[in-house]
């Protein structure tokens, strides 16, 4: 029962990382500054690395990820960053719970993978916070320059 919960949790996180990656890749090709675009691509690659780590653990546990549809891409960059930020923060919390469950099940490899992913998700959230602030500021300046019209 607990092992099945662990497999379900890992599979859910695999889908969450896939979603973060898709959201970030979807906006990285927009007209953004090269710095912001490269940061988004780096964050998408970090989500891909976390997802790969989860795939290895799921395989070791005799399971595989279950695919789910990726929601449509968002039009506005700030909205996409906000969605990725919320998802990264929530994932970090869930990774902590999965690491604890793994330790209770005497599965140190999965616990270690979850802790690495938790740290990675927390770091991504910090970067996303900064990018969101930059994007909101950029949109506000653009609105002010256009006389309040969007």
pLDDT of residue 149: 59
Residue 150 in any domain: the answer is no
For the segment 25-47, what is each residue's pLDDT rounded down to a tens digit? Answer: 988 878 888 889 999 999 999 99
pLDDT in tens, 54-71: 999 999 999 888 777 777
Give the pTM: 0.89
Q: pLDDT at position 145, please?
A: 87
pLDDT at 147 (0 to 100):
74
Q: What CATH number does the domain containing 14 carry?
A: 1.20.1260.10
Residue 68 pLDDT: 75
Please indicate, yes or no, if residue 48 is contained in any of the structural domains. Answer: yes
pLDDT of residue 42: 96
Q: How many domains does the chain have?
A: 1
Rounded Cα distance, 102 and 70, in Å:
28
- Distance separating alpha carbons of residues 21 and 51, to the nearest angstrom: 9
Q: What confidence score (pLDDT) does residue 2 get?
A: 86
User: What does the DSSP assignment read for 80-123?
Assistant: HHHHHHHHHHHHHHHHHHHHHHHHHTT-HHHHHHHHHHHHHHHH
Q: Cα–Cα distance between 79 and 89 in angstroms, integer?
A: 15
Task: Report how far residue 139's alpha carbon sits from residue 132's, in angstroms, rounded to the nearest whole number.
Answer: 10
| Structural domain boundaries enclosing 86 | 2-66+73-145
Let me know: does 110 contact 21? Beta carbons within 8 Å: no
Q: Are 120 and 46 in contact (CB under 8 A)?
A: yes
At 148, the pLDDT band (50, 70, 90 cuts) reads low
68-126: pLDDT as tens digits: 777 788 888 999 999 999 999 999 999 999 999 999 999 999 999 999 999 999 999 99
């Amino acid at each position: 029962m607990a092992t099945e919960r662990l497999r379900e949790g890992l599979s859910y996180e695999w889908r969450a990382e896939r979603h973060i990656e898709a959201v970030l890749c979807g906006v990285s090709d927009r007209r953004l500054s090269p710095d912001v675009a490269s940061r988004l691509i780096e964050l998408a690659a970090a989500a891909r690395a976390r997802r790969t780590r989860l795939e290895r653990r799921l395989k070791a546990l005799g399971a595989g990820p279950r695919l789910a549809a990726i929601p449509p891409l968002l039009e506005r960059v700030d909205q996409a960053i906000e969605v990725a930020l919320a998802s990264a923060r929530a994932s970090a919390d869930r990774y902590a719970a999965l690491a604890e469950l793994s330790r209770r099940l005497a599965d140190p490899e999965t616990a270690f993978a979850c802790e690495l992913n938790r740290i990675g998700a927390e770091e991504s959230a910090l970067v996303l916070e900064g990018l969101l602030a930059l994007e909101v500021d950029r949109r506000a300046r653009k609105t002010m320059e256009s006389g309040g019209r969007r």
